[in-house]
Amino acid sequence: MKAVDSAVEGGASFVGFVFYEPSPRNISHEKAKLLSNRTPNHIDKVGVFVNPSDEELKLVNKSVTLSMIQLHGSESPERVSEVRSLLGLPIIKAVQIEGDKDLLLMEKFKNIADWLLLDAKPNKNSVDSLPGGNALSFDWNILANRSFDFPWILSGGLNEKNIAEAITITNTKNVDVSSGVEDKPGYKNEKKIRNFLTKAHYQLRKL
């Protein structure tokens, strides 16, 4: 609850609730409902899912007020499109980036998802790897001097120490953070949230 309050107070534009059981950040529908109701209307409430079934999506959407859906698994463009019409909500599709060639993935989704979230690829050799939230960054220089004709969000291992550089190199207008404002997976630190937001807002203004 305090994490949501810090994000709201710090001027976040989106808050995300993870509905994915293997994740240490997974929350119950009841808790998500409380948090969502606590979040002012001007802030988007994003339900984060990994390869969800229709039933799962409908169940969550019935009990929790969400304004956007984030798909963080291996959903195909067709599936993204289905989920979008199933719930009638805008979609953020996470795309995992390792090298230049992964930018082609974005082309597949850009006309289907409302936003693309560019995240790092999880470490294949680690058994603990999650689809996201592994505190890993990709090489931001892949994005340097590029411009995209769709809305996108920079994600992957961002924290208060590297956020200024990440924004400067990639020229992103939107950033996503989870592990970077935690003491350990699933445990958000309010001070880290506030510091992250302050630094991100400052660099994003570009003045």
Partner 1 sequence: MNINKNILNPIICALDTTDLLVAKKLVSQLSNTVGGIKLGLEIITKHGIQIVSDFAESGLPIFLDLKFHDIPNTVAAAVRNAASLGVDLITVHANGGEEMLVSAVEASREFENPPKILAVTVLTSLDNNDLKNIGISSTPTEQALRLASLAQKAGCDGVVCSPREISALRDNMGNNFMLVVPGIRPLGFNADDQKRTSTPQEALKSGANRLVIGRPITNSSNPRKAAENIVAELF
Residues that bind partner 1 (CB under 8 A): 10, 161, 164-165, 168-169, 194-195, 197-199, 201-203, 205-207
- Considering the complex, what minimum distance in angstroms separates the CB of residue 122 from partner 1? 27
Residue pair 182/195 in contact (Cβ under 8 Å)? The answer is no
Residue placing its CB nearer to partner 1 in the complex, 108 or 194: 194
3-state secondary structure of 59: helix
Residues 6+ apart with CB under 8 A from 172: 143, 152, 153, 154, 166
- Considering the complex, what minimum distance in angstroms separates the CB of residue 167 from partner 1? 8
Rounded to 5°, the CA angle 45-70-179 comes to: 80
- Considering the complex, what minimum distance in angstroms separates the CB of residue 144 from partner 1? 11
CA-based nearest residue to 121, from 157, 147, 93: 157
- Considering the complex, what minimum distance in angstroms separates the CB of residue 194 from partner 1? 7
Rounded to 5°, the CA angle 83-138-128 comes to: 70
Residue placing its CB nearer to partner 1 in the complex, 130 or 158: 158
Residue placing its CB nearer to partner 1 in the complex, 12 or 80: 12
Residue placing its CB nearer to partner 1 in the complex, 59 or 169: 169
